């Protein structure tokens, strides 16, 4: 297995950025907003504001 793939460093950057967006929102004192995504055939598909902000940040990086 090749662990020196050139994209590995970028994947780590993405993971770190996602952590920066999500982890603080789960700390005490923060109100976490949870919505349900509309998805055909699925009655409950929760998404948090942390999820949405992480997605925005990752899309900007990509």
Q: pLDDT digit string (tens) for 19-41?
A: 999 999 989 998 888 998 887 88
Q: Which domain holds residue 25?
A: 8-60
1: in domain: no
Into how many domains does the chain fold? 1
Q: What is the distance between the alpha carbons of residues 20 and 25, in angstroms, rounded to a whole number?
A: 9
In a domain, 3, yes or no: no
CA 26 remoteness from chain centre: 13
pLDDT at 3: 64
Is residue 13 in a domain?
A: yes
pLDDT in tens, 37-54: 887 887 888 999 999 999
Domain contains 2: no
Calculate the CA 40 to chain-centre distance. Answer: 22
For the whole model, what pTM was predicted?
Answer: 0.75
Q: Rounded to the nearest 5°, which phi and psi values hold at 15?
A: -65, -40
Higher pLDDT, 2 or 58: 58
Task: Report H helices in the chain.
Answer: 8-22, 49-61
């Amino acid at each position: 297995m090749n662990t020196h793939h050139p994209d590995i460093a970028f994947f780590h950057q993405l993971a770190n950025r996602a952590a920066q967006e999500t982890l603080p929102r789960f700390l005490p004192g923060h109100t976490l907003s949870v919505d349900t995504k509309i998805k055909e055939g699925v009655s409950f598909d929760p998404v948090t504001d942390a999820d949405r902000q992480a997605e925005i940040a990752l899309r900007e990086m990509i």
